[in-house]
Amino acid sequence: MSTAPPKLLAGLTLLYWGYLTGHLSAAIPAAILLESRHAVSLRWDFKYESYIKAWHLCVLCAVIIATISWIDGMRIGSIHTLFVWAPFIFLPIELAQRFGTAKNIPLSTFSFFARRKMLDDIKEGRKIAPRLFNTGYPYITIVILATAKASRHDLYHYVGLSILVGICLHGYTKNNGRRPVAWACAFILLLVLSWVGQWSMYKLSRHYRGGNQQITLNQTMSAAETRTSIGRLGRIKLNPKILWRMKLHNGSKPKLLRSATYNQYSKAIWFYLPTTSSSSNDYDEFGYKGSSSAAVREDQRDIRWFSETPPPLSNEAPISIIGEVDAKVKEHPLPIPDQFTAIGDLDTEAFVECNSMGTIRMANPDYNVIEYAVWRGDTSNTEEPPIQQSDSSYNLDLSIPRHERDALKRVCTELDLYNPSLSTLEKIKIIKHFFIDNFTYSTHLTTPRFDRGKRQSATSLFLEDSRTGHCEYFATATTLLLREAGIPARYCIGYAVHELGNDKNEWVMRGLHAHAWSRVWIKSTSSGKDGKWIDADLTPPSWQSIEAQNLDNWKQRLSDKWQLLREDFLIWRTKEANKTRVFYVLAAILSLVVIWVSWRLWSSRQRKSDTRLQAYQRPKYAPYTSLHKLEPLVAGKIGRRPTGTPLCKWLQGLLLVDEQADPELEESLATAIALHSIVRFDPTKSSPKQNQELALLCKRIKQQIKNYQSYKK
């Protein structure tokens, strides 16, 4: 690749990148800078070392961009997303190529080891022949790939890609024997084939990837629904990474932190169905409501509650929670303890809302890592009691899927859960002992693979047949059994709190602490309140010890330390005062680098006219003569005129085509060349008569060439 791309192509590609990735304001100045090469005469005679410095500048840009992204919360595993900034990372070397006087740069510029080897060879006196190349087309390729990484419009991307590829191919084939008709046909075929090809690749990829996905606990979870792995074969993947940290300032430690609660079950999916009654009009049509507008204290601390009246709150929040909101989890439900009353210390622009099940969710957080405070009271003020749907007598908290009923009835009969004399707590105890005595906890399911249609009876199979499962099985079974026994119950997911962190009052929740349990309505015996919701975790207690294995190794400890350091830094960085400090420091460093580079470049600049060796530039006012018009015809006979060959000398090659040259043609050509030289090189002394004579002569020569039949058959 030692040819430069056509003019304006790189600038056009940058604008295409800017438009499709939403960074047009950055792309425009960069495109202008690149293409200004054709408008200004500034050039630099860069030595080999200068290109190396330009490459080092590219590396520095990459480090700066990675640092800024990391500060903003990007994870190391997502570093590939930085490729979208590749056009700016490689901009310094491309500018060096464009504004340097060298046509190509050595490939060893990009490798420390290659450079060192070259220096060793020079020192040893060996002959070196570095490979040279032009960065034009590779830079355009990088910009196109970066666009594909983050493009927002599929169709526009395809159209732009086709145009750019067409221009690249057109420019590349210009001096490589392009055949216009063949090129056009091939390009049309290319567009069709690529359109068909991308669909085929997508289908193929989906076909081969679809069956081999690893099961993850709560593999898609949101505040609205959770898809359990009930009925799926294989081992549940347990992530040892720390997801949340809880700092306990006062009060007792909650055993469980609830992320979301659901009330409707169907085919291994639990989801939330709004249960707003006609009396409550705080909830929107999706069943969510925002925090109270009066939620702020006198000292301007951010505290929010969802009840009509402000709950009693202590000055210091008993619990604070730190963690990273997962981009894959929609609407970011936040883990909260039981008896939740208020949440606070969030970013002022953060928006939180709550549904009737008590699920708190955050919409579009500014930063990946967040810290928030939680207040607790005697009872939760966000969960509505079990109520009927407004237009029917159907209680969602008692609903059971039809295909599960038979098995549930059998088990309830066996356990005597229909007995009216038993209280709710007693029934819960019975189910608990039933699970402990007869069931086994396991994350590895070896039961035969269920077909799609048979997954609906997975819970039944669990209760009556396999009696082996993980927390989702136990939680679902508990919820459904209690509902069958006439007790309102809900399904919850969240985390179990039982691992102490590095600090005395800090508890960590890892992926393998993710848990599911039931939420049960206990009717109140005293007057006043109807009752309350309590947690009923009936998964055999042995599950915690099973998950805790293989945690104690140095790799995990190192990973934990790094993660905590990162999160603490990100929390520190998001505070208002610190945001400004970090910005100023980065801006200062960047400004110093830019000033230093600009000063060095300005002091070593050259004008384009300073270079001694330049390509021949035809004088603007040099006339074209009739002899020039013969060039295409003669080129068809003896081949194109090579670069640097004068026209007259080249035309004489016509006489060498045949061994017996036509004397008439030879004479006419000689006369025409003489006249042409006068007209071309001394136009002031040439007369119109000479021009006419030349034109007539050229006409005759043209005829002679055609009749001459230099193509011998």
Partner 1 sequence: MPMYSLGPVYQIRGMMFAILTLSILWLLFRKAKVKTTRKLPRVATAGEPLEYYIEIYNEGKRTLSGANFKEMRPDNRPNRELFANSREPGEEHRNVFDRLFCYYRWEWLQEKLTLFSCKPSTFIDSLPPGAYTKTPLSLTPKKRGIIMLKDLRIFLPDPFSIFQRCSSAHSSEDKLIVLPHRYRIPQLLLSGSARFQLGGEALSNTIGQSGDFTSVREYRPGDPLRHIHWKSWARTGIPIVKEYEDVFFPRYGLILDTFASEDQADLFEEAVSVAASFAASIDTQESLLDLMFIHDQAFVFSSGRGEDRVDSILEVLAGVDCEPRTDFDALQQLVLQYSDELTASICVFTGWCEQRSKTISRLHRAGMELVIFSICRSSQEADQLQERHPSPLPIHWLRAGHVEEDLAMTKA
Residues 65-124, interacting with partner 1 (CB under 8 A): 124
Q: Return the SS3 of 90.
A: coil
Give me the helix-helix angle, 136-150 and 9-21, nearest 10°: 10
Q: Between residue 116 and residue 155, which ones bind partner 1 under the rule CB under 8 A?
A: 124-126, 144-145, 147-149, 151, 154-155
Shortest gap between Cβ of 12 and partner 1 (angstroms)? Answer: 17
Instruction: Determine contact, residues 142/86, Cβ cutoff 8 Å.
Output: yes
Closer residue to partner 1, CB minimum distance, 5 or 333: 5
CB 105, min distance to partner 1, A: 22
Instruction: Indicate whether 195 belongs to the interface with partner 1 (CB under 8 A).
Output: yes
Least gap, CB of 465 to partner 1 (angstroms):
38
- Of 101 and 220, the one with the shorter C-beta distance to partner 1 is 220
**Euclidean distance between CA atoms 584 and 592, whole angstroms:** 12
**Beta-strand (E) ranges in 566-609?**
606-607
Task: Rule CB under 8 A: say whether 188 interacts with partner 1.
Answer: no
Q: Which residues contact 393 (CB under 8 A, 6 or more apart)?
A: none
**Nearer to partner 1 (CB atom), residue 176 or residue 527:** 176
The reply on whether position 173 binds partner 1 by CB under 8 A is yes
Q: Does 187 bind partner 1 (CB under 8 A)?
A: yes
> Could you say which of 112, 202, 394, 681 contacts partner 1 (CB under 8 A)?
202
Residues 503-562 that bind partner 1 (CB under 8 A): none
Q: How many residues bind partner 1 (CB under 8 A)?
A: 55
User: Is there a contact between 435 and 474 (Cβ–Cβ < 8 Å)?
Assistant: yes
Cα dist. 76→99, 567, 609 in Å? 35, 13, 49
Q: In whole angstroms, give the CA distance from residue 592 to residue 71.
A: 20
Tell which residue, 281, 321, 479, has the closest CA to residue 398.
479
How far apart (Å, rounded) are the C-alpha atoms in residues 359 and 109?
57
Q: Which residue has the tokens 């600038």?
A: 11
Map residue 174 onto helix, strand or coil.
coil
Instruction: Report whether 668 contacts 701 (CB < 8 A).
Output: yes
198 scored as a contact of partner 1 (CB under 8 A): yes
Among the listed residues 32, 193, 592, 622, the single contact to partner 1 using CB under 8 A = 193
Closest CB 140 distance from partner 1, rounded Å? 13
**CB nearer partner 1, residue 66 or residue 145:** 145
Beta-strand pair 256-262/336-337? antiparallel
DSSP E strand boundaries for 251-307: 256-262, 264-266, 269-271, 288-290, 303-305
Token pair of 559 as six digits: 């990973």
Binding test (CB under 8 A) with partner 1, winner from 133, 183, 271, 351 = 183
State how far the Cα of 347 lies from the Cα of 362, in Å rounded to an integer.
Answer: 11
- By residue count, the chain amounts to 713
Give 161 or 597: the residue with its C-beta nearer to partner 1.
161
Tally Cβ neighbours within 10 Å of residue 280.
Answer: 13
The least distance separating partner 1 from the CB of residue 169, rounded to whole angstroms, comes to 5
Using CB under 8 A as the binding rule, whether residue 186 contacts partner 1 is answered as: yes
In the complex with partner 1, the residue whose CB is nearer, 280 or 645, is 645
Which 579-638 positions form the footprint of partner 1 (CB under 8 A)?
635-638
Is 22 near partner 1 (CB under 8 A)? no
Shortest CB 106 distance to partner 1, Å: 17
The Cβ of residue 565 has, within 10 Å, a number of other Cβ atoms equal to 10
| 154 vs 503 by CB, closer to partner 1 | 154
Q: Which of residues 636-665 bind partner 1 (CB under 8 A)?
A: 636-640, 642, 653, 656-657
The correct pick among 25, 76, 80, 177 for binding partner 1 (CB under 8 A) is: 177
Query: Using the rule CB under 8 A, is 296 a contact of partner 1?
Result: no
We find the least distance from the C-beta atom of residue 153 to partner 1, in angstroms, to be 9
User: Which tokens is 446 given?
Assistant: 């070896």
* 197: contact with partner 1 by CB under 8 A: yes
Distance CA 132, CA 117 (A): 16
Q: How far apart are CA 655 and CA 675, in angstroms?
A: 18
Rounded alpha-carbon distances, angstroms, from residue 22 to 153, 182, 627: 10, 37, 54
Q: Which is nearer to partner 1, 21 or 574 (CB)?
A: 21
Residue 654 CB, nearest distance to partner 1 (Å)?
A: 10
According to DSSP, the residues that pair with 649 across neighbouring strands are: none
- List contacts with partner 1 (CB under 8 A): 20, 124-126, 144-145, 147-149, 151, 154-155, 157-158, 161-162, 165, 169, 172-173, 176-179, 182-183, 185-187, 189-190, 193-202, 635-640, 642, 653, 656-657, 710-713
